[in-house]
Structure 1
Amino acid sequence: MDDNIFRSFYDPYVYKTLTSVIGSSVTVQTTQGSVRGTLTNVLPDHIVVEMNNTPFFIRTQQIVWVFPS
């Protein structure tokens, strides 16, 4: 096995659900704490939540839950 292979896993259900709330205010609980802001982008491996004009790039694997507010 090649040790230089990058593997990324994503949950297609989480991805599809999050894409349905793009542009909405959300609270995202991660393994490191929570972020509250506007969900501006969703990709298979991360999401972007903007808070006070600052983008936060959150790895999907680190998300515990998301609450649309």
Structure 2
Amino acid sequence: MSNYAMPFKAQQLNAMNNQPLVVYPVDPYVVEVLKSCIGKCVSIKTTDGHIDGTVVDCKSDHVVLRCCNDIYFVRISEIVWIKPK
């Protein structure tokens, strides 16, 4: 079986310890939307559930939400949709 017939996964190895190289996809459009929502309330649907809160910060791989007095770090790759309130 050739490498092209296999499901997607990183084929490169880390030169330092010969371990598989983990690759996280970045969705620049989702990051851009979330950065524009900093300080605003949003509703986010993830693969695990639903969360409402205020966007505190956004990085390339996660968003920080404040809900009541709790802080949540949500991985961007787990977000299904975002609804500004």
| SS of corresponding position for 1:55 | strand
Name structure 2 gaps, 5 residues minimum: 1-11, 14-18
Question: In the alignment, what sits opposite 1:12?
Answer: 28
Q: Compare 50-59 and 3-12 and name the one that shifted more.
A: 3-12
Is 1:42 the counterpart of 2:74? The answer is no
Distance 1:62 1:18 in 2: 14
Distance 2:52 2:30 in 1: 18
Higher relative contact order (CA 8 A, sep 6+): 1
| SS of corresponding position for 2:57 | strand
Q: Which has the larger radius of gyration?
A: 2
Distance 1:25 1:16 in 2: 16
Name structure 1 gaps, 5 residues minimum: none
2:80 to 47, 51, 64: 64
TM-score by length of 1: 0.91
CA RMSD of aligned residues (A): 1.1
Q: Compare 4-13 and 40-49 and name the one that shifted more.
A: 4-13
Distance 2:53 2:29 in 1: 22
Q: CA deviation at 1:4?
A: 4.2
